[in-house]
Structure 1
Amino acid sequence: MSDTNSNMGAIAHCDVLVVGAGLSGISTLYRLRKLGLNVKVFESGGDFGGVWYWNRYPGARVDSEWPYYQLNIPEVYRDYDFKERFPGHVEIRSYFAHLDKVLDLRKDVQFNAHVIDARWAADDGWTVKTDQGQVAKAKYLILCTGLLHRRHVPDFPGLDTFKGVVHHTGYWPEDIDVSGKKVGIIGAGATAVQVTQELGKQAKELTVFMRRPSYCLPMEQRELSNAEQKGWKTFFDTLFREGRKSGAGFPAKRQSLGVLDVPPEEREAWFENIWQRGAFSYQLLNYADVLLNKESNKIVYDFWARKVGARIKNERKRELMAPKKQPYFFGTKRCPLEQDYYEVIDQDNVDIVDLNEQPLKTFNETGMLVGDKQIDLDIVVLATGFDSFSGSLTQMGLKNREGKDIAEVWKDGIRTYLGMTFHGFPNTFMVYSPHAPTALSNGPTIIEAQCDWVVSAIEKLEKEKAKTMEPKRDAEDSWDAMIDAMNKPTLFPLTNSWWNRATIPGQKVQILTHPGGIEMYEGQIKEKLEGWQGFEVSY
């Protein structure tokens, strides 16, 4: 299987078929090769990168600080230097090219291979087909299709009548020029924050349409020196291993006391200290009860609102972006990192439309009618997010052993066991998934934790000469119940966001994040391999 289409129609036989060639797929391929297995990869994009192949919108960059957004593969990181504390999308694609070069990945990957059908037969294993006509047969199927890949475009009334330019951030043409244009951005989440920072400096007029603000934290971006990078590589392995023993993938620990256990002046001093450090420090190093106690959460929010509000001179914008009345609990939806977002928002050429007060009535030829006001636009940016967690899986024709599509199987809610396997799909695994600490974690860290488990499971099955493995239905029920029970005493269930799939109409609002952190999760899943707890294994 080469990276050309010369073998279309031929059937590739392999031990393992991996779907997706982002960090998850690469990490899986790297590990499975060490077992001596024949592994092939189908990737729908034209090159490596997964979401980073598609994410090319202005300002797109990681919000995991260096050195943690990379795989713990010494032969790769020893010869690669990042330029910034928070690498941008161009640099991330350069990193993927380096991964390919060092690990010789391309020989096992078929690009432009979008899976449209995957079926199981008891005597034949998995047969997987792509829209380009490629076919692969494999004993094991590993789905590395990403958490945030399937773009979500809301059914906005009249959108098809708009005569201007419309682009979703997940499919952005890099050559577009917004200078002298009237631009509208729909959304105020993490992607919208990054886009606003850039387009606000370029557009003639920029209008941000939002329902609620994000609680952005200071990125504190900076360039990295060569000496700094070379020196720290000595400690990379230790840092990455300690990340695996942490909650979110960064070797940092919360305070042991609660917010109210500390005198106000001491508390304020600590808030200021961790705020100045940038990145996610204000979350990672805060007090123990921020996500458990409403009063404590409000105090943390109030400090945030004061810091942000001091940067916005326009009173109306300040109240919209950092309201005195807390819109939702701090930390219960994603806190994006920003560089100069609030200064850009405060510019005279940037306006904010609160869609709660002025609902979007319809698009028309020249722009949008919100409330009773017509807003003319040249370009509309849809920073409207993704069909999170399951969007990629439910669009690939994946059938269980009875021939039922996973979209039908999951119509009443996502079901998994350990966040990596699901009943009715033998020898099937997924990585970077629901029912794990995924949304609350540094991507590469949780990916490597899950990849290690998946590869260990396959190694164990091969040593035992097993034919199939799949989780029991009651094991799925127990795992789901545990996730719910762990979330119940927290503030997470009180806020709707993509974390619980509340952003897509018609989907079940469902807690899908393991809140116990990576270290706890790894301990739980490793335990289940002993004696195949919760699984049915055939020999």
Structure 2
Amino acid sequence: MGSTSEIAQYDALIVGAGFGGYSMLPSCMKEGQARVESGESAKSDEDQGRPQTDRGHRFWNQYPGARVDSDAPVYQLFDRELWEDFTFSERFPSWQELQRYFAHVEKKWDLRKDIEYCKNVESADWDSARCRWLITCSDGTETECKWLILYIPNIKGSSEFQGELYHTAHWPHYDVSLKNKRIAVIGTGASGIQVIQEAGKHSKRLTVYQRTPNLCLPMVQRKLDPVEEQKKKETGVYAEAFKKCESTAGGVTYERTDKNTFDDTPEEREKFYQSLVKDGGLQFWVAGYKDMMTDQKANDAAYDFWRRMVLKRINNPAKGELLAPEVPPHPYGAKRPSLEQNYFEVMNQDNVDIIDVNRFPIEEINATGLKTAAGQVDVDIIIFATGFDALTGGLMDIQIRGTDGRTLMQHWADGVKTSIGIAVPKFPNMFYLFGPQAPSTFSNGPSCIQSQARWLAKLVEKLETDKIKSFEATEASADEWLEMVRDEWDATLFSKGKISLPALLSSIHVLTACTAGGRARIFQERKSNP
């Protein structure tokens, strides 16, 4: 360990540059002293021949078809200085659009000079005597800070396969040819849906390994008219949309109707369901009848409509039962549905096979492909679309030690427990945004993050004003929060889904508030290899 004088000193250190980090920046920079750095384990920008502003947020998530499922314009920071001269070109922005957006944010707020890449955090140790975190990186550098944030995804692969192997969360930054290839996609979550739609256009043979059917909804993508969008900005439509996002349960511009399902006649229900899916997006899930997630019969009615809608697009009965089974895999909406553009048409193609891994588990990935009880499938490319650990992610890869010397992994060995989804007992000065047991997974990310960020900024400013060096959640507050979350969980149909309570309310963007007027650093943390 180097001497204190050799260690860079910051008030706040943020591992991960995205909506969370950028949401905290205004409060950090009010006094003109904040410094933000982003560290990322990847080749240099010079090596990749790309401008540095292309780095950072969604740097790795560039798999074919990658895009968000929140409507523009609400998938952005709600700061007028940023949105008044930036307009997305599509209703549901692609990863290219998001890179363009974050380059705009960096330029507008003059952040690039304060961003550092190629940082891989290995450990974080709390010094109780000095009330500081000591951060050690794989390149040997050390950093001290008062407030800490972390975000690191965890990716798995196979060393036996001799073909091409990719993970959607760590897609290479060169063109991957899918044309006339035999491709296997493992997973049918959001990333799986998106990459399957692209692979289906070009592949010679596509084999999809499905554990749970994705009860996805029509995206209804469309181009946005810049002239029309500018008029919306000038007439207050954008501002009103952002305001609406702060008052709805999902952080979007729409919310559930005040009716119960069976208040309407069957004909009225059918018409209402049709209206929800006609415009696309998540409205069928978020803006439906108010009892859909509390009454099983109401949920069954919604699923029946969804299933009938899907089966009209599939002419193969066997595939239809796998994609839209008569008995639902879970209550509709117990898992966040994805958005699709032509997913069911692609799955309906003759060159596309579906393997149910519940019935035929993957036994091995070998040199030429994948083996299940249904047989061997030889492929040229394997794509893991398994996402990342949304509960604890790569936090377990870092040795984060709290006041008692135990790691976060040890503290969470028997289950995740937090205080109001932003802090963990025994880990002072470490706050979470969009993290475990926060209302993150089932909400619009930017809405949730910005709301939490404002609250945390005020909290930290208060702590600094009162000259409080260490702030820690109590065990009692964490116990109370966990009990409240469980009570809410048990009152809904989420408890019948194949998803755990902590996973329901978790995502692993872990953030701290930056000190107002202090110095801050952001590390954009990523693994360089799958």
User: How does the TM-score come out when normalised to structure 1?
Assistant: 0.87
Q: Which amino acid aligns with 1:105?
A: L
The whole-number CA distance in structure 2 between the counterparts of 1:260 and 1:14 is 58
Whether the aligned pair in 2 keeps the contact of 1:10 and 1:134 (CA below 8 Å) is no
CA 17–357 in structure 1, closer or farther in 2 if over 3 Å, else same: closer
Would the alpha carbon gap of residues 490 and 37 (structure 1) be closer, same or farther in structure 2, given more than 3 Å must change? farther
Secondary structure at the aligned position of 1:53 is classed as coil
1:513 counterpart residue number: 505
Partner residue, 2:443: 441
Say which of 36, 52, 60 aligns to 2:58: 52
Number of the residue aligned with 2:178: 178
1:228 — aligned with what?
228
Match of 2:141 in 1: 134
User: Which residue number corresponds to residue 204 of structure 2?
Assistant: 204
Return the alpha-carbon distance in structure 2 between the equivalents of residues 100 and 45 of structure 1: 20
Secondary structure (helix, strand or coil) at the match of 1:307 reads helix
* Paired residues of 1:35 and 1:459 also in contact (CA < 8 A): no
How far has the Cα of 1:392 moved from its partner?
2.8
The answer to which of 22-31 and 299-308 deviates more is 22-31
Structure 2 partner of 1:316: 318
1:450 is matched with which residue? 452
Q: From 427, 430, 437, give the equivalent of 2:429.
A: 427
Q: Deviations over 1:332-374 (max 9, x none)?
A: 0020000011111111111111122323222222212221422
Q: Contact 2:330–2:498 (CA<8 Å) still a contact in 1? A: no
Q: 1:225 is aligned with what amino acid?
A: D
**Which letter maps to 1:453?**
W
Name the counterpart of 1:400: 402
* 1:396-433 deviation per Cα after TM superposition (whole angstroms, max 9, x unaligned): 22110222211111111111111111111112112111
Contact 1:255 1:286 in 2 (8 A): yes
Equivalenced residue count is 488
> 192-201 or 68-77: which moved more?
68-77
Q: For the residues of structure 1 that align with 2:364 and 2:13, how far apart are their CA atoms?
A: 45
1:231-242 to structure 2, matched below 5 A, reads 231-234=231-234, 235=236, 236-242=238-244
Cα distance in 2, alignment partners of residues 260 and 494 from structure 1: 22
Secondary structure of the equivalent of 2:185?
strand
- Tell me how far 1:18 sits from its aligned partner: 1.7
* 8 Å contact kept, 1:69–1:444: yes
Q: Determine which of 18, 25, 33 is the counterpart of 1:22.
A: 18
Q: Following TM superposition, by how much is the alpha carbon of 1:161 offset from its aligned partner in structure 2, in angstroms? A: 2.8
Does the aligned pair in 2 maintain the 1:66–1:85 contact within 8 Å? yes
1:141 aligns to what SS in structure 2?
strand
Contact 2:436/2:503 (CA < 8 Å) preserved in 1?
no
Mean Cα deviation higher: 283-292 or 382-391? 382-391
Q: Within 5 Å, give how 1:20-419 maps onto structure 2.
A: 20-34=16-30, 38-44=34-40, 52-124=58-130, 125-143=132-150, 145=151, 150-153=153-156, 159-173=158-172, 174-234=174-234, 235=236, 236-419=238-421
What are the ranges of 5 or more consecutive residues in structure 2 without an aligned counterpart?
A: 43-51, 507-530
Does the CA-based 8 Å contact 1:15-1:39 persist in structure 2? no
1:488-503 map, 5 Å: 488-497=490-499, 500=500
Paired amino acid for 1:142: I
Residues 259 and 290 in structure 1, CA contact (< 8 A), matched pair in contact too: yes
Indicate conservation of the 8 Å contact 2:23/2:450, yes or no. Answer: yes
User: For residues 458 and 153 of structure 1, what CA distance do their matches in structure 2 show?
Assistant: 37
Q: CA deviation digits over 1:78-105, x for unaligned, max 9?
A: 1112110011111111111111000011
Given that 1:44 and 1:115 are in contact with CA atoms closer than 8 Å, whether structure 2 keeps it comes out as: no
Q: Confirm or deny: 8 A CA contact 1:362 1:368 kept in the other structure.
A: yes
Question: How many angstroms apart in 2 are the aligned matches of 1:487 and 1:135?
Answer: 42
1:303-330 alpha-carbon deviations (Å, 9 max, x no partner): 0011111011122111111112222110
RMSD: 1.9
Cα offsets for 1:291-313 (capped at 9, x unmatched)? 11111101100100111110111
Shift of 1:195: 0.4
Compared CA separation, residues 50 and 309, structure 1 to 2 (3 A): farther
Query: Does structure 1 retain, via aligned residues, the 8 Å contact 2:36–2:111?
Result: no
CA distance in 2, matches of 1:365, 1:226: 50
Q: What amino acid maps onto 2:505 in structure 1?
A: T
Q: Structure 2: how far apart are the matches of 1:24 and 1:87?
A: 18
Moved over 4 A (4+): 45-51
Question: Which amino acid in structure 1 is aligned with residue 153 of structure 2?
Answer: R
Greater relative CO, 1 or 2 (CA 8 Å, sep 6+): 2
Deviations 1:219-264 (A, max 9, x none): 0000001112101223322211220111111121211121122111
Counterpart residue identity of residue 217, structure 2: L
Structure 1 CA distance for aligned equivalents of residues 230 and 267 of structure 2: 40
Distance 1:449 1:333 in 2: 24
Please give the alpha-carbon distance, in whole angstroms, between the structure 2 residues aligned to 1:354 and 1:85. Answer: 33
1:109-147 deviation line (CA, Å, top 9, x unaligned): 22111211211213331221221233222222233x2xx
Name 2:511's counterpart in structure 1: none
Cα drift, residue 389 of structure 1: 2.7
Separation (CA, whole Å) in 1 of partners of 2:147 and 2:429: 5
CA distance in 1, matches of 2:38, 2:134: 13
What CA distance in whole angstroms lies between the structure 2 residues aligned with 1:152 and 1:261?
47
CA contact (8 A) 1:182 1:204 kept: yes
Aligned equivalent of 2:464: 462
Say if 2:154 and 2:394, in contact at 8 Å, map to a contact too. no
Contact 1:115/1:396, CA 8 A, preserved across alignment = yes
**SS of the residue 1:54 aligns to:** coil
Shift of 1:467: 1.8
Alpha carbons of 1:208 and 1:452: their partners in 2 closer, same or farther (altered >3 Å)? same
- 8 Å contact 1:255–1:285 — kept in the other structure? yes
Distance apart, 1:434 and its partner CA: 1.4
- Kept in 2, the 8 Å contact 1:207–1:351? The answer is yes
Q: Secondary structure at the match of 1:392?
A: helix
Determine the C-alpha separation between the residues in 2 that align with 1:321 and 1:444.
31
1:35 CA drift (Å): 5.6
Relative to structure 1, the CA distance from residue 468 to residue 294 in structure 2 (aligned partners, 3 Å threshold; closer, same or farther) is: same
Q: Aligned in 2, Cα 1:134/1:74: closer, same or farther, shift over 3 Å?
A: farther
Question: What is the Cα deviation at residue 393 of structure 1?
Answer: 2.1
